[in-house]
C-alpha cells in the first residue's frame, strides 16, 4: 500500500474526545468515591493515550496497572486470546476498572473479564473509549463508553495501523488506500 495514496478522514475530533473524557471521568469518580481505590488496568498498547487523559481528570485515589494481549494480525484463531504481558498487581479483593481503546468482536475483553473474575476481583467494570457494536461476536457489558463507531477500521489516539498513527490526537479512518 502506498502511503501517498491514503488520506485520513477525521471521525472524532480531539476536542470531542477530550470533552467526552471529562464526562466519563466525572461519572467514574462519583461511582468509586468513598470506596477502596479502584485498580485501573489499561490494555496495551492502544489504551495508553486514553488512560492517561482520563485518569488525570479523576480526583480520587486509584492504582494503575497494564496488561497486553494478542491483537489483530497475530495469526491466532478468532476468539483465541493470548496474554502477552500480565498485570503486576494482585487482583483478589480489588475493584478493577478495565480500560480498553475499542471493543470490536469482544473476544479480547470477554476473555480478560473472565480471567479477572476468576482471580477473585471484588468487581470488574469496563470502560471502553470506542464501541464497534456492529462487529460484535460475543456480548461484552460496557459500563462506561466513550463513543459508538461504525464497523470500519479506525486509527489514531492510541489505535494503530502497523504501529503507525497512534500519536494522532483524534480518531480517523484511512481513505483512498490502494495497493501500489
Ligand atoms: P476484539 O477482541 O474486540 O475484536 O478487538 C480487540 C483489539 O483489536 C482492540 O483492542 C484493538 O487493539 C484491535 N482493534 C479492533 N478494532 C480495531 C480498529 O478499528 N482499529 C484498530 N487500530 N485496532 C482495532
Report in angstroms the alpha-carbon separations of 93 from 124, 140, 174.
Answer: 11, 22, 43
**Is 104 a residue of the active site?**
yes
DSSP letter (8 states) at residue 164: B
69, 81 in Cβ contact below 8 A? yes
Does residue 167 form part of some domain?
no
Amino acid 164: pLDDT:
96
Nearest CA to ligand 1 atom 9: 102
- Measured CA to CA, the distance from residue 120 to residue 94 in angstroms comes to 8
Tally Cβ neighbours within 10 Å of residue 138: 12
pLDDT of residue 75: 46
Question: Which pLDDT band, with edges at 50, 70 and 90, does 72 fall under?
Answer: low
Examine residue 61 and state whether it is found in any structural domain, yes or no: yes
- Closest residue by CA, ligand 1 atom 10: 102
CATH of the domain at 92: 3.40.50.2020
Residue 64: the pLDDT is: 98
H/E stretch holding 161: none
Give residue-wise pLDDT tens across range 120-162.
999 999 999 999 999 999 999 999 999 999 999 999 999 999 9
Euclidean distance between the first and the last CA atom of the chain, given in angstroms as a whole number:
5
**How many domains does one find in the chain?**
1
Q: Per mean pLDDT, which range of 1-5, 24-28, 113-117, 124-128 is the poorest?
A: 1-5
Whether residue 110 lies inside any domain: the answer is yes
Q: Which residue among 69, 72, 108, 135 is best mutated to probe the pocket of ligand 1, counting the most ligand atoms within 8 A of its Cβ?
A: 72
Q: Is the pLDDT of residue 79 over 80?
A: no
Residue 51 included in any domain: yes
3-state secondary structure of 14: helix
What DSSP designation does 56 have?
A: T
Domain that holds residue 104: 14-152
Residue 119 lies in a domain: yes
For 13-48, the pLDDT digits (tens) are 999 999 999 999 999 999 999 999 999 999 999 999
Amino acid at each position: 500500500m502506498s502511503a501517498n495514496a491514503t488520506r485520513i478522514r477525521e471521525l472524532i475530533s480531539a476536542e470531542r474526545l477530550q470533552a467526552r473524557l471529562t464526562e466519563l471521568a466525572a461519572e467514574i469518580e462519583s461511582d468509586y468515591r468513598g470506596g477502596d481505590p479502584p485498580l485501573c488496568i489499561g490494555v496495551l498498547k492502544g489504551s495508553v493515550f486514553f488512560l492517561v487523559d482520563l485518569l488525570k481528570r479523576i480526583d480520587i485515589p486509584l492504582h494503575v496497572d497494564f496488561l497486553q494481549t494478542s491483537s489483530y494480525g497475530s495469526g491466532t484463531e478468532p476468539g483465541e486470546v493470548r496474554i502477552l504481558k500480565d498485570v503486576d498487581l494482585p487482583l483478589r479483593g480489588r475493584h478493577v476498572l478495565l480500560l480498553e481503546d475499542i471493543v470490536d468482536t469482544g473476544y479480547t475483553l470477554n476473555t480478560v473479564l473472565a480471567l479477572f473474575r476468576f482471580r477473585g476481583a471484588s468487581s470488574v467494570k469496563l470502560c471502553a473509549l470506542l464501541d464497534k457494536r456492529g462487529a460484535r461476536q460475543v456480548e461484552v457489558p460496557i459500563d462506561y463508553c466513550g463513543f459508538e463507531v461504525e464497523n470500519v477500521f479506525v486509527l489514531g489516539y492510541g489505535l494503530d495501523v502497523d504501529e503507525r498513527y497512534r500519536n494522532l490526537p483524534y480518531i480517523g479512518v484511512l481513505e483512498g488506500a490502494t495497493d501500489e
